[in-house]
Structure 1
């Protein structure tokens, strides 16, 4: 039986009726096929010899791109499928201490073409959410300073107050499960930016990474503190154990970080985004810490939140004073890109935050039924 996915052969073709859109099951089937391709020995050679087919995957990608990045772009399943495919390609840039054969296609031309195809459409769509021309008309240092002052300790949102005051155990466990995808490999993308010439800015970024990695001591690596929290909750501690629970909006942040750190031309954008991430973590994590304490978790289990509340305040100042501002001086003609990166990270984070809290609320509701 021909898959409905195959009815959408190109990204330019916009679905005319929602009845023709691929279902979640269709995307799941295509993703399983994609995983098989990832694990196929000598994939590019087999493709050249027509010994394997990518028609189902390519058709699904075309359909998903049309549904996600044209019109209102509100097809959640399409976004989810595309971000999961991107993530599965991007994770090959990190080493997971698993079967070496899993990396046989890490330089596959086909996988690179799939990544570039999705990223091009996705990033165009993301950029359209912001008025990029306006950044070039700004007093950049003043704008960035004002944004940092407002974002470092904002008034709590309704969603944050819900986490702080009301989230139940099921919801808290869902929050931790989603956060584990990044929390257990924390700062890995930052490591991709540290090769090259040494200078004061490079030294600050290196110091930031060294602190995240516990100065080479496993027990002090920030991800180890996350593992302690998972263990106390009786949850799985393997990286990616809860991958299927992660909203596409969270995957988009991770994939965005991979893109910016792999493209040195986007270095200023990455620094802007990293600045936003470091300086806003303490305010957000205070609510998570309060929820954990209210639910009776131990001090050790709360150490991940507590550590970041303490150190990321300092990291935020480092990023602003010793990285962002000096880079704005050095790259005066391109400094707007740093502000763009900050603003885009804020947009991505706000969108992901809404999705995570919705997942948390749903978990509590299901538990209470």
Structure 2
């Protein structure tokens, strides 16, 4: 993957430095502004910092991953992101005596975001479905990786539960069954480039924020409870929407191979949601009762950002506009 074009002063300075050998530098100031989920410069800068812990960029030296100056810059970006999240995601109260599984279920049931999956099932045209898949590629081509950071930080029943979920995500050791590979087949079926990071230039801030949230939680041990809650919400809101996505793709002519990614999640996530809520999160809170609120906050963050993403997409489509970054914006950023 190549470094994308900058989207503002933060990414302009950061990318200029990353193309050079690792060196010490003063972290650039991170300006306060509007909603963090709409800040293109902030989200792309944070995404680039996080990506160095995954597969990196072709022109960025691997030594940058743990360069203290870059970590200091990332810390400033994260502080701005976390402050912004705190403004838009109320912390759900952890009520004594309420089982974690029930508290998570109530949180999911209370979410009233727009029904993007219903639109994709019944009304979306092929171009809109391709846009949706392009958005999702930024996560699904590395599916499960951010949550895997939790495995060495857990013990006992919660660890076993997470390993069970992740083993399915990675195809039980069979490459053709890995969920990231199934998603590649969906992309190819829609005529999209399925290479890792191919669509980063067109991915807007809200979609980057969803990915950055997982990396933020995954890379910090202090956010372990939030990471588990995030995964639980992810699994608990997956099965029915994926059924609708498969219906929509079938309506648009998608074959069994292209739809397999969605069909697989209908079955797998119906099981995963029980494991995630009861065994993983419930087991974690049983071991660490004081951290129940963290679990619920992670779930609330996942639900909120997914709602904001759906609102962004539906708003753009209602105005017959692209939900991706369009050609004029890309040209202006270069």
Q: Same fold (TM over 0.5)?
A: yes
The reply on whether 1:102 has 2:102 as its aligned counterpart is no
Q: 1:256-289, CA deviations, whole angstroms, 9 ceiling, x for partnerless residues? A: 1111111112111111111000110112222211
1:88 counterpart residue number? 48
| CA positional deviation for 1:113 | 1.4
CA root-mean-square deviation: 2.8
**Structure 2 gap ranges (5+):** 327-334
Tell me if the contact between 1:184 and 1:226 (Cα under 8 Å) persists in the aligned partners: yes
**Structure 1 gap ranges (5+):** 1-24, 48-53
Tell me if the contact between 1:275 and 1:319 (Cα under 8 Å) persists in the aligned partners: yes
2:93 counterpart residue number? 135
The reply on whether 1:43 has 2:23 as its aligned counterpart is yes
| Number of aligned residues | 318
Residues 247/200 of structure 1: CA separation in 2 closer, same or farther (3 Å cut): same
2:329 counterpart residue number? none
1:126 counterpart residue number? 85
Tell me if the contact between 1:175 and 1:360 (Cα under 8 Å) persists in the aligned partners: no
Distance, in Å, in 2 between the alignment partners of 1:140 and 1:296 is 49
Of residues 323, 327, 334, the one that matches 2:280 is 323
Distance, in Å, in 1 between the alignment partners of 2:110 and 2:241 is 9
Q: 1:94-147, CA deviations, whole angstroms, 9 ceiling, x for partnerless residues? A: 136x75953231112221111111111221221133443x615x2463575154
1:240 counterpart residue number? 197
Moved more, 148-157 or 202-211: 148-157
| CA positional deviation for 1:187 | 0.7
Distance, in Å, in 2 between the alignment partners of 1:118 and 1:273 is 21
Tell me if the contact between 1:208 and 1:315 (Cα under 8 Å) persists in the aligned partners: yes
Matches within 5 A, 1:1-369: 27-28=7-8, 31-44=11-24, 47=25, 58=28, 62=30, 65-68=31-34, 73=35, 76=38, 79-95=39-55, 99=58, 102-132=61-91, 135-136=93-94, 138-139=95-96, 141-142=98-99, 144-145=101-102, 147-148=104-105, 151=108, 157-195=114-152, 198-359=155-316, 362-363=321-322
Distance, in Å, in 2 between the alignment partners of 1:92 and 1:156 is 33
Moved more, 145-154 or 157-166: 145-154
Residues 144/43 of structure 1: CA separation in 2 closer, same or farther (3 Å cut): same
Residues 326/255 of structure 1: CA separation in 2 closer, same or farther (3 Å cut): same
| CA positional deviation for 1:196 | 5.0
More contact order relative to length (CA 8 Å, sep ≥ 6): 2
Distance, in Å, in 2 between the alignment partners of 1:312 and 1:261 is 20
TM-score, L = length of structure 2: 0.85
Q: 1:323-348, CA deviations, whole angstroms, 9 ceiling, x for partnerless residues? A: 11122222112222212222222112
